[in-house]
Homo-oligomer: A and B are copies of this chain.
Amino acid sequence: MAKISPFAPPDLPALPAIEGVRLAACAAGIRYPGRTDLLLALFQPTTTVAGVFTRSKTASAAVEWCREHLRHGMARALVVNSGNANAFTGMRGREAVKETAQAASRVADCLEADVYISSTGVIGEPLDPGKFVGRLVELADRAEPDAYQMAARAIMTTDTFPKLATRSCEIGGVTVTLNGIAKGAGMIAPDMATMLAYLFTDAAIEPAALHEVMAPLVEDSFNAITIDSDTSTSDTVLLFATGAAAARGAPRIAHGDDPRLEGFRAALFDLMRDLAHQIVKDGEGLTKFVKVTVTGAESKAAARVIAKSICNSPLVKTALAGEDPNWGRIVMAVGKAGERADRDRLAIWFGDIEVAKDGERASTYEEAKGAAYMKRPEIDIAVDVGVGEGRDTMWTCDLTKEYIAINADYRS
């Protein structure tokens, strides 16, 4: 296996229980024997759900299933398997999803439509649900409210550490909790990866309002990260709100613009961004965690395009790996983005070091300073393109020989 990310936390956070959520996981032998690869989450009957999925035109059968059933917005069970993405598996793939939903609906005593499903792992291999649906009864029996670490492990593929985070906030004077788990190491590595995140809260929020709060927050959290520019067939973010806090006096919120959601929105965004950063920090083969801020663009969208161009450039990423303050490659990446930029007003900073100004190397810049800065594990790059007020920030990692080893040597 790949070596552990240098950004892996020394201790995993212990997530508190969330009333109305129970979790269990086991090793079902879906691809590798002895590897925890099946997660079941059970929710109390008042649980609402919101989700955001991959924009891939070759989305997996499980993503199609979730998209369709999200419309009614209620959830009683979540089943996630790793080891097989059940993507590009034709009619058999759809049947595997249906069979999983049936089995989960029996153990959760709910409608099939209340079951949410994700699969992650190799693409194009038929997924045999017979391998794991029989295990769901046992998982339901021993599901517990505090099994988040085991749950986070069950959804890992090329991840080198489980990703967990928790926050709390008040809604109408009542404290509610938000927990999240995520996986992802290549933005997608179809052999054995993809980005999945599951968020849980005891807040009481109607489905439409839940979607209205959560969906826009994806833009600057999970959509603001890129490891290798590739897009999964299975990327999924699901937020389950059990409503259990209502019994403690929390209001049931019906509208996304309800001012009582202010603290919740902030806590949810913070949780999502934390998990997103953890995904980057487990980027395949990484040695650097890199923040790229673009200002002075025509709009936020233009700034995003430029930031993404910098983050995805193999030449910028290899320079970062080489601890090379090669700002010429940043100029190149701005130029190729296609958005308006004033070459002769372009400015670049590494942290507080002004590198380029007014379209050429800053007179105060010294290569030795830039080289020293690049030795840090966390790098801040800021670029002003000098044409407007648009700004955006993205996070990425470097591109190393280890990335190639992980992705070129995996099956060979």
Q: Which residues of A contact B (CB under 8 A)?
A: 54-59, 85, 87-90, 92-93, 122-126, 186, 188-191, 228-233, 312-315, 318-319, 321-324, 326-329, 331-341, 343-344, 346, 356, 358-361, 399-401, 403-405, 407-412
Output the nearest chain B residue to A228 by Cβ-Cβ distance. Answer: B314
Chain A interface mostly: loop
* Assembly CA distance A319 to B409 (angstroms): 8
The answer to whether residues A314 and B229 also contact, given A57-B341, A331-B58, A360-B89 and a CB cut-off of 8 A, is: yes
Output the nearest chain B residue to A56 by Cβ-Cβ distance. Answer: B335
The answer, among B321, B324, B334, for a CB contact under 8 Å with A58, is B334
Cβ A339 vs Cβ B57 within 8 A: yes
**B-side contacts of A356, CB under 8 Å:** 88, 124
Cβ A361 vs Cβ B124 within 8 A: yes
6 closest Cβ pairs, A-B complex: A123-B328, A58-B335, A322-B408, A56-B335, A231-B336, A90-B360
* Copies of this chain, tallied across the complex: 2
**B-side contacts of A321, CB under 8 Å:** 404, 408
* Assembly CA distance A355 to B196 (angstroms): 28
Cβ A124 vs Cβ B315 within 8 A: no
Cβ distance A399 to chain B, nearest Cβ, rounded Å: 7
Output the nearest chain B residue to A89 by Cβ-Cβ distance. Answer: B360
* Assembly CA distance A323 to B411 (angstroms): 9
**B-side contacts of A312, CB under 8 Å:** 229
**Contacts A58-B341, A124-B328, A318-B403 given; 20 further ones with Cβ under 8 A?**
A56-B335, A58-B346, A59-B335, A88-B328, A88-B356, A124-B361, A186-B315, A188-B332, A190-B332, A230-B313, A231-B336, A233-B335, A314-B399, A318-B408, A322-B408, A322-B411, A324-B412, A399-B404, A403-B404, A404-B404
* Assembly CA distance A181 to B233 (angstroms): 42
The answer, among B88, B190, B336, for a CB contact under 8 Å with A343, is B88
* Assembly CA distance A166 to B400 (angstroms): 39
Q: List 12 A-B contacts (CB under 8 A).
A: A57-B335, A57-B338, A88-B343, A88-B360, A189-B315, A191-B326, A230-B314, A230-B329, A231-B335, A314-B399, A318-B403, A322-B407
Cβ distance A58 to chain B, nearest Cβ, rounded Å: 3
Cβ A315 vs Cβ B404 within 8 A: no
Cβ B332 vs Cβ A231 within 8 A: yes
Cβ B190 vs Cβ A329 within 8 A: yes
* Assembly CA distance A331 to B85 (angstroms): 12
Cβ A315 vs Cβ B401 within 8 A: no
Cβ B90 vs Cβ A338 within 8 A: no
Output the nearest chain B residue to A404 by Cβ-Cβ distance. Answer: B401
Output the nearest chain B residue to A406 by Cβ-Cβ distance. Answer: B318
